[in-house]
Amino acid sequence: MNLTSTVTKSPSPNSQSDSVVSAQPPSFIPFQVGPSLEHIPDDVLLEVVSHLPTIDDTLCSPLASFRHPEYAIPSTVLVRTPTLHALSKTSRLLRSRCLAIAWQRTEFWGINFWKRFVFDNPMGKATKNTLRVLKACPHLLPLIRTMSVILIEYQKAEIIPAFAACLATLPNLNTIRVIGSETRMQTVIKDAFRGKQFPSVRRISLPSSAHEIVRKCPNVEEVACVDEDGSKIVQSLVEGKCHQVRILKGISAPLTRLADLVPNLTHASVAKGVSPFRHLVGNILTSLHSRT
């Protein structure tokens, strides 16, 4: 019998072994590896994740965001952060890419937060959990550039001071978005932000009830009001000596007090009070000319 071949026979009760195993090992068939995320160029990966929904100023109408932020914010924004966190756990390479992207835009959203009758608890618990993670993981703090939050009644005496303290630890924070807040929380917000400064912030969008945050951003360049006439926000800009403001949105209150404060103002979506800004037209024309 040729031992170099494999012979297979039917079982026989009179033989101890009716099959002879080949002396030659079978030829190795390499595992075929298809395309993987690791082979995708960084610019393509960034383009892919850029399509994951995020909170944007256009998603929330001023009235809806102030009265019922749980209705104004689409539930699809829940997809982005969990997806990026899942990708960051698949390999070391994707962790170095996706973890940074996930925390670059930090959003304090809770599961089912858009449902009216279960809004406060999930929202508050999600905010507390995120603040706890950031406190325990200081390596994440430099990654955050945009912070979006809804300030609610749930454990406000604990959460809002913790939120203010967290903002003060973010060296590269560029944008703050307060999607919703209640008027009765102004005192809590004022106390929580007393003594804080956020010099890196350049853009801020917030309701009038959170106006105290504005005066803590001396270098802010773009300010958007998402409810009421914005008169309290104007007051905070003056008291905070925010000389760098270039863009004002959603403010219908008179801007007379800002006439000498913001010489670089180039855009103001307001209903009245623009007359003191004789330099505004000239700044806008100069800005347009520089782009052509």
If you write DSSP's letter for every residue of 88-99 in order, what string do you get?
Answer: TTT-HHHHHHHH
Amino acid 169: pLDDT: 95
**Two structure tokens written together for 270:** 């307001």
Neighbours of 110 (CB within 10 A): 22
Q: Looking at this protein, which amino acid is placed at residue 12?
A: S
The H-or-E segment that residue 291 falls in is helix 278-291
pTM of the model: 0.71
pLDDT (tens digit, 9 = 90+) per residue, 12-45? 545 444 444 445 555 555 545 555 666 777 778 7
Closest Cα to residue 114, out of 76, 152, 58, 155? Answer: 76
Percent of the chain topping pLDDT 70:
67
pLDDT (tens digit, 9 = 90+) per residue, 205-262? 999 889 999 999 999 999 999 888 899 999 999 999 999 999 999 888 888 888 888 8
pLDDT (tens digit, 9 = 90+) per residue, 163-212? 999 999 999 999 999 987 777 888 999 999 999 999 999 999 999 889 99
Q: Which residue ranges form the domains of the chain, and what is each CATH number?
A: 39-284 (3.80.10)
